[in-house]
Amino acid sequence: MSAERDMTRIVRSWLQVDEYESADRVLDIVLDLLDTTPQHRSAWPVRRFVVMNSYAKLAIAAVVVVVVAIGGLALLRPGESSGPGGAPIATPSPTPSPSAAPSPSPAASPSTIDTTDWVPFTSDRYGYTISYPPTHSGMPGSTKSAPTFVAQAQRDFAFGTDLWERSAGGELATTPLDWIVLGPDGYQIGFWGFAATVPVGTSVDDIISQGVGTRDPPGAPFPACESEPIMIDGQPGRFHVCGDSVSIAVVTIGDRAYVFVEGRGSVEKDLMLAQLSTVQLPTP
């Protein structure tokens, strides 16, 4: 009996060990989602907000790295950017690099999904328009979005705390993401997008090479990525699919890079291509 009491004491003591356990991040997300999370919907099964595997989370972290890299590129060329989040101040280059754009063909196969009844979402922050299925809904960008989904352990594991904290701390501000959420099949974050100012002439391959596809975390079986050219609103871009974890499309116009990400990779490739086919980019 004494040994049993000792064991109980040991276990209780072990469970009570204090760790940093603030739920502020989770709380912020939940409260942000109340407006788009209805009560009393018998036909609406209770779902979790984010159903993404670890690859997808890593990929999001990679996208954040892309953002940071874009910010870094912009900072290295301070005369050509207006800072994060705001409207760009374009500085036309008299001699844009001929390597800035990828080869326009062969492009990704056009989607066969009918998008005629899809709902347009126009990003107030970035100016692009994209349509999504009526089973989804759109959310404007939030500065909370990017840091929310990358756990500390994954940040440390994949990309290093220093890089992230410089980003989260404001030295290189994190770019807010627009969301298309509330997907119909058990996951709710389906798509997100953003834009950032880059030095004129920065190619989509340059942008992708800063993040997704070339930052396989050491020791992690990050899926192989396949890349193909794509036309987005008449502009040549790059479509990048990493297994069933993530797909990312990048297109640049002048000093502006537009990045669209979908969280299930090859599983939702057709849906992603259909969404990309509806993109309308702002006039530079």
**Residue 116 · residue 147 · CB < 8 Å:** no
Distance of CA 96 to the CA centre of its chain: 28
Pair type for strands 256-262 and 129-132: unpaired
Tokens 């409260």 found at: 31
CB atoms closer than 10 angstroms to residue 222 = 22
Cα distances (Å, whole numbers) of residue 259 to 37, 79, 111, 204: 26, 22, 19, 9
What is the C-alpha to C-alpha distance for residues 34 and 179, in angstroms, rounded to an integer? 15
Residue 147 makes contact with other proteins by CB under 8 A:
no
At its nearest, how many Å lie between other proteins and the CB of residue 274?
28
Q: Compare residues 41 and 98 and give the one whose CB is closer to other proteins.
A: 41
Query: For the window 35-74, what string marks contact with other proteins as x by the rule CB under 8 A?
Result: x-xxxxx--x-xxxxx--xxx-x-----------------
Here's the x/- map for other proteins, 171-210, by CB under 8 A: it reads as ----------------------------------------
Tell me whether residue 13 or residue 112 sits nearer to other proteins (CB atom): 13
Given candidates 92, 221, 234, 284, which one binds other proteins under the rule CB under 8 A? 221
Instruction: State which of residues 9, 87, 120, 234 lies at the interface with other proteins (CB under 8 A).
Output: 9
Which range in 139-147, 148-156, 162-170, 276-284 contacts other proteins by CB under 8 A? Answer: 148-156
Q: At closest approach, how far in Å is the CB of 63 from other proteins? A: 17
Q: How far is the CB of 262 from other proteins (least distance, A)?
A: 19
C-alpha dist (Å) from residue 264 to 43, 44, 242, 272: 24, 22, 9, 9
- Give the amino acid at 93: S
Distance separating alpha carbons of residues 30 and 258, to the nearest angstrom: 27
Residues lying near other proteins in the complex (CB under 8 A) are found at 3-4, 7-27, 29-31, 33-35, 37-41, 44, 46-50, 53-55, 57, 151-154, 156-157, 219-221
